[in-house]
Amino acid sequence: MPSNFKRIGYSRPKYSVKSYRRIMKTVKNSFAVEISDIAEYHLHILNYFYQYGKIATLDAFKVKQSTVK
């Protein structure tokens, strides 16, 4: 069954890896903000959760399930 929507092709600019990393570092630094130690800790917990899962996070940090939901 054909769709009524046109297909849109996206292409990324052809940068070298070195140029891409430099651009991404500039973008990251442009949006950098100071956050509190508590917020940084919670962000660390959430990054760990997305990488290793819920059970490993609960065991590693001894936090409540509501923190990582």
Task: Dump pLDDT digits (tens) for 4-62.
Answer: 767 666 666 677 778 878 877 887 777 767 778 888 888 888 889 889 989 999 999 98
Sign of CA dihedral 45, 48, 53, 59: negative
- Domain segments of the chain as ranges: 34-69
Tell me what pLDDT residue 13 has: 65
Report d(CA 2, CA 30) in Å as an integer: 43
pTM given for the model: 0.49
**DSSP code of residue 15:** -
Tell me what pLDDT residue 36 has: 80
Encode burial over 1-40: b for 16+ CB neighbours within 10 A, e otherwise. Answer: eeeeeeeeeeeeeeeeeeeeeeeeeeeeeeeeeeeeeeee
